[in-house]
Amino acid sequence: MAWSIDDIDDQTGRTVVITGANGGLGEVATRALAERGATVIMACRDTRKAELIAEGISGDVRVKPLDLANLASVRHFAARMGEFDVLINNAGLMNLPLKRTADGFEMQFGVNHLAHFALTGLLLDQITDRVVTVASIAHRQTPKLWIDDLNYENRRYQRNLAYAQSKLANLMFARELQRRLDEADSQLRSYAVHPGVSGTDLFTKTETPVDLVGKGFAAVWGHEPKKAAQSILFGATEPDIDPHKYWGPTGGIGQSRGPVRSAPSSKLSQDRRMWRRLWEESEAMTGVTYKLPRSVDETAR
């Protein structure tokens, strides 16, 4: 029997931080978690929109400002967080024209990967359970990771490849984080998930004619947001799933829809040497160095 949102256990006493919660799959996940008793912190750039959504959700939902296009905002947010259970790295931008963040990063790589890398590193010692990072089936669309030019300074910008690179980075980051947690014998877990395809506002912000039809096409190609968010919620709430697997739908055209299962990923995404190189470059670009938590047994010695 396929897993669904209805299978989420009682989340009372748990606190979840989710980026990009003011629409799309983030809103669906926020609503589902709050309805099952979790305290949900909506970490959003558009706090006005987030407050309107929060007002319509029963439960303990709080809005805090976070602009992932500015590392100063990421640091400000992290410095004001206490201990919590789950971080969901959900926010994302797709197929934008060339733009740069406040720190000079290519916008899609900067927001989708680097900001979440920095946020996770700054919060890691305050997370008690797990990190869930939302990747994409689009990670397959890039033939390589341009590790020596992640910021598009020496090559022609291609918006679709820039998006694919950022989602490949999400997947590699989640896997390398879990590898490092294993090495540290930590009880924290890092999950990589993908939602398939869903007709959300992600398809209306490319600043091209695609914005007029993309959302409707995605709705036909993929599945509704409530189902697309299942992999995120599965990764955030199921107690005993394997963090070494990539979780998401495997049906439809190109894994665009279907129940949550262990999903395949590209050969490139499994390159452990590249995981490490991406991690090192991400530390250098963000200035955030991780301090891996030790196991409970080790800290008791």
Q: Are 39 and 33 in contact (CB under 8 A)?
A: no
How far is it, in rounded angstroms, from Cα 175 to Cα 267? 13
Report d(CA 228, CA 194) in Å as an integer.
8
Which residue has tokens 């300074």? 153
| Cα distances (Å, whole numbers) of residue 103 to 67, 91, 133, 151, 234 | 12, 18, 22, 11, 33
Structure tokens at 225: 């947001």
Contacts of 56 (CB under 8 A, 6+ apart): none
Q: Measured between alpha carbons, how far apart are the two ends of the chain, in Å?
A: 44
Q: Which of 163, 191, 246, 290 is catalytic?
A: 163
Q: Return the structure tokens found at 271.
A: 């390159």
Instruction: Confirm if 260 and 231 have CB atoms less than 8 A apart.
Output: yes
Using an 8 Å Cβ cutoff, are 34 and 234 in contact? no
Q: For residue 191, indicate whether it is catalytic.
A: no
Packing angle, helices 230-237 and 24-35, rounded to 10:
40
- Could you give phi then psi for residue 13, rounded to 5 degrees? 95, -10
Interatomic CA distance for residues 18 and 81, integer angstroms: 13
Q: What are phi and psi of 41, to 5 degrees?
A: -105, 115
Known catalytic residues are 163
